[in-house]
Amino acid sequence: MKEGEDFYFNEAGLMVFTANYHLKRGYCCKNKCKHCPWGYGKKKEKK
């Protein structure tokens, strides 16, 4: 894992995984990650 590419540290000092990391991993963990490329936990737009 590379800092800046796969993760970064937020203001609180916590490690945050990037969408790039999630795509490399290849599946959704269903933890409502901030950068989830699959959109799990994101609100659906009403049409």
The domain ranges of the chain are 1-46
40: tokens are: 């799990």
Q: What is the C-alpha to C-alpha distance for residues 7 and 19, in angstroms, rounded to an integer?
A: 9
Phi, psi of 45 (to 5 degrees): -80, 135
Mean pLDDT by 10 residues, the chain (47 residues): 95 96 94 92 74
Looking at residue 23, its pLDDT comes to 96
Looking at residue 42, its pLDDT comes to 79
pTM of the model: 0.76
